[in-house]
Structure 1
Amino acid sequence: MEERIIQVEEKVPAKMLIPLSIQHMFAMFGASVLVPFLFGISPAIVLLMNGVGTLLFIFITKGKAPAYLGSSFAFLSPALLVISKYGYEYALGGFVVLGIAGMCVALIVRQCGTDWIDIVLPTAAMGPVVALIGLELAGNAASTAGLLDGKVDPKNVIVFLVTLGVAVFGQILFRGFLSVIPILIAIIAGYVAAGACGLLDFTQVREAAFLALPNFTSPKFNFEAIMTIFPALLLVTSEHIGHQIVTGKIVGRNLLKDPGLHRSLFADFFSTTVSGCLGSVPTTTYGENIGVMAVTKVYSVQVIGGAAVLSICCSFLGKLAALISTIPGPVIGGISFLLYGMIGTSGLRMLVDNHVDYSKSRNLTLTSVVFVVGLSGIALKLGNVELTGMVLACVVAMALSLVFYILDKLKLTNDQ
């Protein structure tokens, strides 16, 4: 029997909506709250603005682009530099200016359209770029699970295997409603296993207040601080295009055309601008939640919106947020193993579905170079921003594809 797919605009019954929304919130929680911890601020304001940003994204894209907006890692290096030199308020100023610049880019895209993407990122290049979104994070999943430590704790291995095992076999064996919440079930199973292994610490839960208001902070502006953060615009734009393409492939729709790249890009940067104005970190579409959609075949924006509302509630419920934060690394790592792999597979699926002809030298070259650049670990520094992994591979792919296009126009290529 063909697996049931819940499409983007479909409504979900309440009895399904709550667990499906919780599943999405758990998927993003670990990575999203890590950024405020690194910046030395309370995660409450970040949970609030992630939820608000996601709801704004859904509204601006007319409910046609399922995406959860979580804390962006693209800003870590320049933002930490600004924070150490000027303070967090000046980093917020950089976030606001970058968000405004990103909205201007979205308006330019609206005027120019998206046909240029097929030229600078043909399928032979875009497929591996999308795959790299997941593949380059594989090491992070293993590190989060504690599997890359000098001395690996057997307890971490047990919890990791329980979580991953339930997620993998649940995807194949679960039926009915259970088949759409395998990630949530795997997290619960991993959490129980972590408790049995003595890895849970409820100190933060006991110390947390039941109700707490997020800490709002106003941005301050400094030219040098702004210019330190500004080059991250390229990273976020490239990441957004990749995420929208892979999401479109998963849901079976061209999201670059409808609702349009200009709308989703504007919504992404508008969320970052609002977040910066109120004291939170920049937001971006989240690969973890894309992975959840790929696994569950549930694409409803209603579910994404439900997760956003839960995130907002968590920002005011101190004990609940603290309880969720007790989910240990091996559980998050186990889930991430599957989710990141699903994203990687989506990129490879693009190559298969579009029948990329590798007898042509250009296609073989593009795919080969993109994979090697993305997985080699090499980096390109632009001021205080470092381009590496998927983003650097995307830049190289665009440059190489553009050169090939020009050579085609000059009739110098040998595979026409």
Structure 2
Amino acid sequence: MESHKIIQVEEKVPLKLLLPLSIQHMFAMFGASVLVPFIFGINPAIVLFMNGVGTLLFIVVTKAKSPAYLGSSFAFLAPAGVVISKMGYPYALGGFVAVGFCGCILSFIIYKCGTKWIDIVLPPAAMGPVVALIGLELSSSAANNAGLLEDKIDPKNVLVFAVTLGVAVFGNILFRGFLSVIPILIAVVAGYLTALACGILDFTQVVEASWFAIPNFQAPKFDMGAILMILPVLLVITSEHIGHQVVTSKIIGRDLLTDPGLHRSLFGDNFSTMVSGLIGSVPTTTYGENIGVMAVTKVYSVRVIGGAAVLSIICSFVGKLSMMIQTIPGPVIGGISFLLYGMIGASGLRILVDSRVDYGRSRNLMLTSIVFVTGLSGISVNIGTVSLTGMVLACVVAMALSLIFYILDKLKLTNDRKA
């Protein structure tokens, strides 16, 4: 295999490549995805199971044309946390089902209305910074996982982080042939071995875990108050989904909003969330970490994503294997995330370059400036228990501002409109 050869979405991948590439994707999503069930106080095994099932459902719904891995959504943490504390987790599950169902209805509305409205409310000057913010606002999370934001930084954490990030960066530049498509996996292994040598790994839970374990399935309960508390999250996850589809389109060189269509990908995303709520798991969403893996490796094959999904399902039933993956230390996850989140940020800037955004036009300069500052300022707007901040708030502001510019254009009031 030539160095950095592109493996496109529909291409078949030999088994000798499929397994390591799939493992690479699973490792990329694992750290963030299992954090959500820990916060909710449930067993991560059910989440690993649903991540795999949800990803396979997404692949089927999108006709295997949109490479995306579905992991645990962070957007639901605040409202679901309130519901869990007052009513219990089953009522939060009911809210997840309701949001997923409403999201499926929204996908049918988009199917009827089309996607041309996206060019109006999110032109390149706005979409570029919105996409960039998906990665940039997560940068502190990567540093935090690595232990680099602690008051007293442990040199061992720094060493493991540096080895992981260094292997990922220089491996991507120097590796050739087969190794050139698995730099993330090699970096994870190198970081893990470094952590082992530094003595910061604890295998107690691995030894105590059983070989076979059934995920903890449970049914949802429905309460209108709980549903109304969680339902506004639909705005958040829809904005996030559009951003993810746009950046993936730029990476693989195809317009996923048109083929297979935003309505299909949005339906697959929300249908997975609905099923998650029905079986006791957490809501799912397309994962930026795996988008970053594709950007680094140039491997876009849906078969690889599907392979990672199958491995996730297997891990949910093998207790020791699941626990072994959970022992991957924070500095390793942080080192990988440091690169992957940065790749997403760079993809947003690429939208500006590829679209040849003219900053001689006042509106473009205003849009990009306001979106970046809104997303990075830490400003938060609360709607009930849902907090709009970061990329989501920036996306809402960008859409509102772009729509106002469009209306002013139609009224012929702007001084920089195109003839």
Alignment partners' CA distance in 2, 1:2 and 1:406: 49
C-alpha distance in 2 between matches for 1:15 and 1:2: 17
Query: 1:7-406 to 2 correspondence within 5 Å?
Result: 7-406=8-407
Distance 2:213 2:119 in 1: 48
- Amino acid paired to 2:359: Y
Distance in 2 between residues matched to 1:181 and 1:321, nearest whole Å: 21
Distance 2:81 2:333 in 1: 25
Q: How many residues align?
A: 416
| Local SS of the residue matching 1:380 | strand
CA contact (8 A) 2:78 2:386 kept: yes
Instruction: Name the amino acid aligned to 1:337.
Output: F
Partners of 1:37 and 1:2 lie apart in 2 by 39
Q: How far is 1:203 from its partner?
A: 1.0
Tell me, yes or no, if the aligned pair for 2:92 and 2:220 is still in contact at 8 Å: yes
3-state SS of the aligned residue for 2:285? strand
* 1:369 alignment partner AA: I
What are structure 1's unaligned runs of at least 5 residues? none
For 1:359 and 1:171, how far apart are their aligned partners in 2? 36
The DSSP-based 3-state class of the residue aligned with 1:140 is helix
| Contact 2:3–2:180 (Cα < 8 Å) also in 1 | no
Partner of 2:38, secondary structure, is: helix
Structure 2 CA distance for partners of 1:410 and 1:296, relative to 1, 3 Å: same
1:211-258: CA deviation from partner (whole Å, max 9, x where unpaired): 000011100011111111000000000000000000000000000000
Quote the offset at 1:272 in angstroms: 0.4
SS in 1 for 2:68: coil
- Measure, in 2, the Cα distance between the counterparts of 1:198 and 1:2: 35
What TM-score, normalized to structure 2? 0.99
Q: CA deviation at 1:2?
A: 7.5
Q: Equivalents in 2 of 1:356, 1:3: separation in Å?
A: 29
Following the alignment from structure 1 to structure 2, what is the Cα–Cα distance between the partners of residues 364 and 2? 38
For structure 1, which segment, 2-11 or 196-205, has the greater mean C-alpha deviation from structure 2 after superposition? 2-11
CA-CA distance at 1:204 after TM superposition: 1.0
CA distance in 2, matches of 1:2, 1:44: 37
SS in 2 for 1:92: helix
| Residues in 1 aligned to 2:205 and 2:300: alpha-carbon distance in whole angstroms | 34
Shift of 1:323: 0.2
Work out the CA distance in 1 between the residues paired with 2:58 and 2:47.
Answer: 16
Which residue identity does 1:84 align to in structure 2? S
SS of 2:34 mapped into structure 1: helix
The amino acid of 1:165's aligned partner reads G
1:207 positional shift: 1.2
Q: What secondary structure, in the 3-state scheme, does the structure 1 residue paired with 2:366 have? A: helix
Query: Helix, strand or coil: the match of 1:127?
Result: helix
| 1:361–1:154 CA distance, 2 compared to 1 (3 A) | same
Provide the rounded CA distance (Å) in 1 between the counterparts of 2:196 and 2:315.
23
Per-residue CA deviation, residues 252-291 of structure 1 (Å, 9 max, x unaligned), is 0000000000000000000000110000000000000000
Q: CA separation in 1, counterparts of 2:250 and 2:208?
A: 45
Amino acid aligned to 1:95: F
Per the TM alignment, residue 3 of structure 1 is displaced from its structure 2 partner at its CA by 3.5
Partner amino acid for 1:4?
A: K
Counterpart-to-counterpart distance in 2, 1:267 and 1:364:
35
CA distance in structure 1 between the partners assigned to 2:168 and 2:105 by the alignment: 41
* Percent sequence identity over aligned pairs: 76
> What whole-Å deviation, never above 9, does each CA across 1:356-412 have from its counterpart, x for those lacking one?
000100000000000000000110000000000000000000000000000000001
